Amino acid sequence: MNARTHNPAISEAAAQCALGFDRPVPLSPQAMARSLRVTFMPIHEATDRVRRFADLLRKALIDSGVTVLDFQSALDAQRPSKLQEDLVVIAPGEFPVGGLPIDRVSNLRTTTIVGIVDGPCPAEEGTTDQSKLNSIVRTLGWYVVQTVIYVDDAVWTVCTMNGAVIPCAHSSSIAADVLSILVPKMAAPVVPPHASDFEVRAGALDLAAPEYAPYIADFVESGPLWLESDLFLFHTSLESLEFRSPFYKRVVAAYLDHRSGMSYGFLARQMAVRDLRAEPAAGHPRPSEPGSVLIEAPGGPYRVQVPDVWVFTTRSGCDKAHLDPRRDILRMGLSSGRIIFETPKGLDPKIDCRPSYDTLTILAHALGNALVAAVLRQVQPDARLARALSAGGLALAHWHGYVRPELLPPGTMVYGAENPPVSCSTHQAALFALTGKLEGLRKALSAGMEVRGDLHIEPHHGVNMTGESLTELARWALRTLRAESSRHRRAATGGGGQE
């Protein structure tokens, strides 16, 4: 049966409720387009190529269903020098100090700025993923934008704060690429979480507690293995960027929630969940209700109780390969739709202690793991993944890169490749993680597969991989992905190897 002809494994409304989202989240490119309000900065200085592209982009956005306001209509009536909130501001070409789009912004968290720059994407000159990323982040810092579009004769290239580099071919109509690629970037941009988003329990986490020892040990043991795998890009420090003025540096620091910079990739360790409850919802099942969700799967549907989930994560910006277990690990929980954030006991207040950009996605995976395990107990009473989560928890690793499906461990569900390309710091990414995991479960069970973990593909970004421990995942990466990387290098230099 085609996946689009039957009920989803979990409804969007139920998934949003379970994650604590209090308003609908647009998930399709069309819905994202309808949610956007866009204005263009009046051009100060721009090449003919940038001017032509800006005109094409304006038409493509309108054709996609985006509301495009003229600049005067987008100004705040109460503060005419500032723009309204909840806008995307597109800035073609060059602007002087004091006249950058950011100078017009009144709320950093509700405004996205897209710069259009003449010339080829500088990432093309990079020889490593790290150098490519650094070149993009330097541009973002210099123009003080969240997304930049490079325009040359051959392609226009979209680059974002999370390291995405997407070249698009020029054509007489760019509407299709604008809708499928640029609109999701604008509707679901990279936004760092603030402490005000959560219930913060400062100093509540006792990392020396005996019951936490296995989780902490997994981080410490796996760190050097992850370093050896070369999968993680390094922390990009705010101090390494060049700004046009101290004011713009302060603005970027405020946007980043006064973090020391930006990290790429995360490690997370889910604590054991022993309260896994599901039962067949026979006859005419009631819709999902507070405290439970309805999940469609073979032999179901099933009514599954939504448990609290708790996850240890690395402190944003820390050195994941050389963790200090006294200060570099935090704990986050999702309880009745509320996010709880705990920092270590006795932590030096000078230490930059912030939750991961990807907090929502991490917790969505943890909740998805618990719901999957609860259903598995009904369908496969001795299921390995359910036993692992109940006994010692599960692990999640995220890196910027992809994995060929045939290289994955047996029992790995794969999903997400068809989703719009959003940042993994967004509500959309969290919903794609949860709904995709449950849809993957239904397909796996229909195929008679024993589920042991999963791979969540985030287009234009990377992957989230779930397994039984961080150390197990790191060892698999070393055995498989490093060998794959070496094979490609040998092929590229004429040293053998086959595609």
What digits encode the pLDDT tens for the residues 397-408?
Answer: 998 888 888 999
Domain spans of the chain, in order of start = 36-187, 195-490
User: Residue 234: what pLDDT?
Assistant: 58
Residue in 155, 373, 186 with CA at minimum distance from that of residue 273: 373
pTM: 0.90
Q: E strand or H helix at 176, and its extent? A: helix 175-177
User: Average pLDDT of 96-111?
Assistant: 90
Residue 252: phi, psi to the nearest 5?
-65, -40
Say if residue 89's pLDDT is above 60.
yes
For 179-191, b/e burial (b = at least 16 CB within 10 A) is bbbbbbbbbbbbb
**Cα separations (Å) of 91 from 33, 62, 115, 489?**
19, 17, 5, 39
User: Residue 50: what pLDDT?
Assistant: 97
Model confidence band, residue 85 (pLDDT cutoffs 50, 70, 90): very high
Q: Which of 55-59, 186-190, 264-268, 453-457 has the lowest mean pLDDT?
A: 264-268
User: Residue 262: what pLDDT?
Assistant: 53
User: Residue 260: what pLDDT?
Assistant: 52
User: Residue 245: what pLDDT?
Assistant: 82
User: Average pLDDT of 276-303?
Assistant: 83
Say if residue 492's pLDDT is above 70.
no
Q: How many residues does the chain have?
A: 499
CA–CA gap between residue 420 and residue 297 (Å, rounded): 24
Of the two residues 151 and 137, the one the predictor is more confident about is 151
Q: Which of 66-75, 273-282, 351-360 has the lowest mean pLDDT?
A: 351-360
User: Residue 2: what pLDDT?
Assistant: 40
Is CATH 3.90.25 what the domain over 36-187 is classified as, yes or no? no
**What CATH number is given for 195-490 in this structure?**
3.40.225
Percentage of the residues of the chain whose pLDDT score is greater than 70: 87
User: Average pLDDT of 113-135?
Assistant: 80
Model confidence band, residue 287 (pLDDT cutoffs 50, 70, 90): low
User: Residue 328: what pLDDT?
Assistant: 86
User: Average pLDDT of 70-76?
Assistant: 96
User: Average pLDDT of 136-156?
Assistant: 89
First to last CA, the chain: 33
User: Residue 283: what pLDDT?
Assistant: 64
Model confidence band, residue 483 (pLDDT cutoffs 50, 70, 90): low
Q: Which residues contact 69 (CB under 8 A, 6 or more apart)?
A: 37, 38, 39, 87
Model confidence band, residue 490 (pLDDT cutoffs 50, 70, 90): very low
The beta strands (E) that lie in 299-337 are given as 302-305, 309-314, 329-335
Residue in 292, 274, 403, 304 with CA at minimum distance from that of residue 337: 292
